[in-house]
Amino acid sequence: MTRSQSAPHAGFVIAVPALSRGTANRSEDLRHPDRLAAQWPVSRVVIMDHAGRVELDAAGTSAAAPRLRSHPAPSIGQAPPTDAVLLGSVDGIDHWAIRGDVTDGSGLRELGPLLSDTDAGLLTTATALLTWHAAAGYCPRCGEPTLPSPAGWSRACPQGHEDFPRTDPAVIVLVHDGADALVLARQPIWPPGRMSVLAGFVEAGESLEATVVREVHEEIGVLVRDVSYLGSQPWPFPRSLMVGFAARADPAAPLLPREGEIESAHWIDRATIRELLANPDDGWSGGDVIGGSVGMMLPGRVSIAHRMIQGWAESG
């Protein structure tokens, strides 16, 4: 195939993933210290505890979407605390996050799909940045202690070495047969019945597409083709970017789960997936499909995996 020819396409349309919906202005131009100081008196601050939990605004609990609770910045201090992180600007108002005590809070996994686009983006950024700061107290080059920048988007040591938040790319792949079946697999550490699509980290010197082919073959022993991009989602647990793909495989090829990584893998028909999506809380007893009386559950709505499975189910 030459570069001018079109490659076969295995993709389909997916809804914007729950954690990719942010609307805040995250421009680097917002992070100048003088600007931050001038804006602080009208800024808002979200408090997150060390378990990643935040509180909801009581006035928004009965609304269509719950709202993050934020505090007037002057109630936190006369200037941004050294450990505060700038999440972005919303309608001209800076929003920050800091660590602190939280009562009756919830985390990103629970709140991600429920919050508005703006709040989902703010909470995703807060989770990613504060998690990074907790693990980045020392310079990776010289080992000296580091201090955060005024906006919290970098850290520097006394030697002048600057460190930035790290993101690890990973592919997540929906393998299908080009007709009415897809592959779902489960890892042995997951709760009983939980199944999902395949995923793995990108290795050094490797393209995203090459990772798709390698990971699928390693995990279930199948060669895929027609690798097609679907979308992406930050996954700050602790620092991944999930890049979604679809790929085709021969349904007659045996599925060979990799020992120690994949407990089981099965072709599942579209009608079953639609039934599961229609009854997300009930699960499904899939004896005829996956063997025995095993209840099957799909990934939660906070994950891009859910959007991928849903998109595939609605595409046929």
Residues 137-181: tens digit of each pLDDT = 999 999 999 999 999 999 999 999 999 999 999 999 999 999 999
pLDDT for res 294:
41
Determine contact, residues 102/53, Cβ cutoff 8 Å. yes
pLDDT in tens, 94-139: 999 999 999 999 999 999 999 999 999 999 999 999 999 999 999 9
CA–CA dist 155, 162 (Å, integer): 6
Share of the chain above pLDDT 90, in %: 86
Report the predicted TM-score, pTM, of the whole model to 2 decimal places: 0.92
Q: What is the dihedral of CA 154, 157, 158, 160, to 10 degrees?
A: -60
Q: Residue 82 phi/psi, 5° resolution? A: -60, -25
CA neighbor of 112 nearest in space, from 101, 127, 102: 127
- With a cut of 50, say whether residue 20 has pLDDT above it: yes
pLDDT in tens, 285-297: 333 344 333 478 9
> Can you state the percent helix, strand and coil of the chain, rounding each to 5?
25, 25, 45
Q: Which residues of the chain form beta strands (DSSP E)? A: 44-48, 71-72, 85-90, 93-99, 147-148, 155-156, 162-163, 168-176, 181-186, 198-201, 225-235, 240-248, 264-269, 284-285, 295-296
- Chain mean position to CA 261: 21
